[in-house]
């Protein structure tokens, strides 16, 4: 009887230790993930590098956070001479609100127009298309459009 109790206790300790590892890792990753605050109406210059997070398709991505109001009509403009840009607007719980690869034929820059239906924090993800030329300088600007 005593032997069975020891096995159950040992198994419980092993199980608890296995559970703690992913929780600790998730906490560490959550702390490490810190999107950059994006100012509204001001163009920023930044650089996508190999130290940004990999997209899984050979490129890299960098996230920016912005607080938007219900009813905001916005345009996100992303330009780079170094890589083919993709801009993604991500809402609550990781839901993709919109995405744009090429703003116009003949360009690899991105432009995304959206109308915000719910106030809150949104993520703007800047990434490169594919693995070819997946790093380099870019400019990013979010503008609130005035309703007519």
Q: Same domain for 22 and 93?
A: no
pLDDT for 92: 87
CB 134 within 8 A of CB 58: yes
For range 15-33, the mean pLDDT = 50
Three-state secondary structure call for residue 39 = coil
Contact 108, 50 (CB under 8 A): no
So what's the pLDDT on residue 143?
Answer: 96
Q: What's the total number of domains in the chain?
A: 2
What is the extent of the structural domain holding 75?
Answer: 36-145
Distance in angstroms between the alpha carbons of the first and the last residue of the chain: 80
Q: What is the DSSP letter of 70?
A: T
Are residues 28 and 49 both part of a single domain?
no
pLDDT tens by residue, 99-136: 998 877 778 899 999 999 999 999 999 998 876 667 89
Kindly report the pTM of this predicted structure. Answer: 0.75
- Are 16 and 69 part of one and the same domain? no
Query: Do residue 20 and residue 92 come from a single domain?
Result: no
| pLDDT tens-place string over residues 29-49 | 555 778 989 998 999 999 998
Nearest to 97 by CA among 65, 124, 128: 124
pLDDT at 8 over 70: no
Digit-coded pLDDT (tens) for 74-96: 999 999 999 889 999 999 889 99
Q: Are residues 8 and 58 in the same domain?
A: no
Mean pLDDT of the chain: 80
Q: What percent of the chain clears pLDDT 90, i.e. is strictly above it?
A: 50
Q: Which range (56-60, 64-68, 144-148) has the least confidence?
A: 144-148
Q: Are residues 111 and 46 in the same domain?
A: yes
Strands 85-90 and 36-37: unpaired
């Amino acid at each position: 009887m005593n032997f069975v109790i020891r096995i159950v206790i040992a198994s419980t300790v092993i199980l608890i230790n296995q559970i703690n590892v992913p929780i600790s890792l998730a906490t560490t990753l959550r702390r490490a993930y810190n999107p950059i605050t994006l100012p509204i109406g001001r163009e920023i210059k930044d650089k996508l590098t190999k130290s940004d997070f990999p997209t899984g398709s050979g490129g890299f991505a960098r996230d920016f956070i912005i607080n938007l109001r219900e009813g905001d009509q916005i345009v996100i403009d992303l330009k780079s001479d170094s890589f083919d840009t993709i801009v993604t607007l991500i809402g609550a719980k990781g839901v993709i609100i919109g995405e744009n690869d090429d703003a116009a034929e003949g360009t690899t820059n991105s432009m995304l127009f959206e109308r915000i239906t719910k106030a809150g924090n949104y993520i703007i993800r800047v990434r490169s298309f594919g693995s070819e030329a997946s790093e380099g300088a870019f400019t990013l600007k979010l503008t609130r459009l005035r309703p007519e």
